[in-house]
């Protein structure tokens, strides 16, 4: 009836701030001449109403610009409408894609994404998580989290968690990731078919599945005379690739091919290899994992295994939503497809050797 939008209490006549406070369910109820319970049921759907009531409520909501307050709703339902995701390093395009995938699924489901970057942090991971926790309905976190964090997570029960990257850090937990052994095998076979015999792997042992990739790589050369060597870096970033390049390339065993735990390392290795005067791929082949977008734009373009970063984020989010919905038969682990992307940084070795 009245044109005024806000409630009439609270000194409506005051002339200072004409700023109306947001309309509440009570305002709608009053305007529509029904009870708040009715409005609530209407808003949350799942029930039928008389045409008249429906029309009045719709009009009132429309007119008042009413939007339910998620905090108040959350207090009752225990749901926040948010999904949490904690990333190890947003600078890494692999994680960026992961976030993108999760973000899309969350948005489609009408949920928000609470984001945390564990970057650089030593211990604060737990603090980060604890801050996120009460504000989300479920979490997507790296399977590479410290044990203490995982313990806390499973004890602060009630909220589902999906781990990404590799198998869950402890049995009985949900996870999404690719088959890392198979990925390593895939890349190893590619190199083997090219005729490589001396392979060096630059791993990142802080990620458990670096070992799986390494094993896959070795298995690809089983029964051959190939010699494989293992290096390790403290962080899976381009700078470390650059730093370790000389050790790898000027090693006692000059490698015909260098495989890196991920593309960032590979990018650094590639760059430094060329700076050191190595011709890639003529003298040495270089490859990585993740298939980040920039692999296409370096010279030579980077051979990589696409481990479905964005799909991982999508599947993880979907899995989490299913968990939230109480889906009954949910596999503990979902595997994302991988695919070899052979580009120019891998080729036949200089001296093919004899079969």
Partner DNA sequence: TTGTATGCGTTATCAC
Partner DNA sequence: GTGATAACGCATACAA
Compute the distance between CA of residue 15 and CA of residue 80 in angstroms, rounded to an integer.
36
Choose the one of DNA, a second copy, none that binds residue 235, judging by a C-beta under 5 to 8 angstroms depending on kind: none
Q: Torsion over CA of 292, 297, 299 and 303, rounded to 10 degrees?
A: 30
180 binds, among a second copy, DNA, none (CB under 5 to 8 A by kind): none
Closest CA to 85 of 107, 110, 114: 114
- Binders of a second copy among residues 114 to 133 (CB under 8 A) are 114-117, 119, 124, 128, 130-132
d(CA 41, CA 48): 9
CB of 105 to a second copy, least distance (A): 11
- How many whole angstroms separate alpha carbon 64 and alpha carbon 84? 32
- Partner that binds at residue 298, options DNA, a second copy, none, CB closer than 5 to 8 Å by kind: a second copy
Of the two residues 47 and 329, which places its CB atom closer to DNA in the complex? 47
Sites for DNA among residues 77-116 (CB under 7 A) = 77
**Considering the rule CB under 7 A, would residue 25 count as an interface residue with DNA?**
yes
Q: Is 279 in the site for a second copy (CB under 8 A)?
A: no
Answer yes or no whether residue 50 interacts with a second copy by CB under 8 A: no
Does 345 engage in binding with DNA (CB under 7 A)?
A: no
Residue 135 lies near a second copy (rule: CB under 8 A): yes
| Residue 115: burial class (beta carbons within 10 Å; 0-12, 13-18, 19+) | middle
Stretch that binds DNA, among 38-46, 159-167, 168-176, 215-223 (CB under 7 A): 38-46
Closest listed residue to residue 273, CA positions, set 307, 236, 298, 306:
298
Name which of 37 and 148 has its Cβ closer to DNA.
Answer: 37
Span 236-265, contacts to DNA by CB under 7 A? none
Binding residues among 4-23 for a second copy as defined by CB under 8 A: 19
Residue carrying structure tokens 């209490």: 9
Closest separation between CB of residue 301 and a second copy, Å? Answer: 9
Judged by CB under 8 A, the stretch of 35-43, 72-80, 228-236, 243-251 that binds a second copy is 72-80
Longest Cα separation, the chain = 94
Using DSSP's 3-state secondary structure scheme, residue 117 falls into strand
- How many residues touch DNA under the rule CB under 7 A: the total is 31
| Rounded distance between C-alpha atoms, residue 213 and residue 222, angstroms | 14
Q: Does 311 bind a second copy (CB under 8 A)?
A: no
- Phi and psi at residue 202, in whole multiples of 5°? -100, 100
């Amino acid at each position: 009836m009245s044109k005024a939008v806000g409630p009439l209490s609270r000194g409506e006549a005051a002339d200072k701030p004409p700023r109306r406070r947001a309309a509440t369910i009570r305002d709608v109820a009053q305007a529509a001449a029904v009870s708040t319970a009715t409005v609530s049921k209407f808003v949350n759907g799942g029930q039928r109403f008389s045409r008249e009531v429906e029309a009045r409520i719709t009009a009132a909501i429309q007119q008042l610009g009413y939007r339910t307050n998620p905090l108040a709703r959350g207090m009752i339902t225990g749901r926040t409408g948010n999904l949490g995701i904690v990333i190890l390093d947003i600078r890494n395009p692999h994680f960026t894609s992961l976030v993108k995938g999760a973000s899309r699924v969350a948005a489609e489901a009408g949920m928000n994404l609470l984001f945390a970057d564990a970057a650089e942090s030593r211990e604060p991971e737990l603090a980060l998580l604890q801050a996120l926790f009460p504000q989300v309905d479920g979490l997507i976190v790296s399977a590479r989290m410290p044990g203490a964090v995982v313990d806390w997570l499973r004890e602060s029960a009630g909220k589902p968690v999906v781990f990404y990257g590799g198998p869950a850090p402890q049995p009985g937990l949900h996870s999404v990731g690719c088959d890392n052994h198979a990925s390593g095998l895939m890349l190893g076979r590619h190199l083997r078919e090219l005729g490589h015999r001396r392979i060096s792997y630059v791993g990142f042992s802080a990620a458990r599945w670096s070992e799986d990739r390494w094993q896959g790589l070795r298995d690809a050369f089983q029964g051959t005379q190939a010699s494989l060597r293992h290096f390790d870096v403290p962080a899976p970033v381009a700078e470390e690739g650059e730093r370790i390049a000389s050790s790898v390339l000027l090693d006692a065993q000059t490698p015909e091919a260098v495989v890196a735990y991920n593309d960032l390392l590979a990018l650094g290795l590639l760059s430094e290899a060329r700076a050191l005067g190595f011709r890639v791929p003529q003298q040495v082949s270089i490859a990585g994992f993740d298939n980040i977008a920039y692999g296409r734009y370096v010279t030579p373009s980077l051979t990589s295994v696409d481990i479905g970063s964005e799909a991982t984020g999508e599947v993880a989010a979907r899995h989490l939503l299913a968990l939230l919905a109480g889906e009954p038969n949910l596999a503990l682990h979902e595997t994302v497809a991988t695919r070899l992307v052979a580009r120019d940084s891998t080729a036949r070795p200089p001296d093919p050797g004899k079969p």
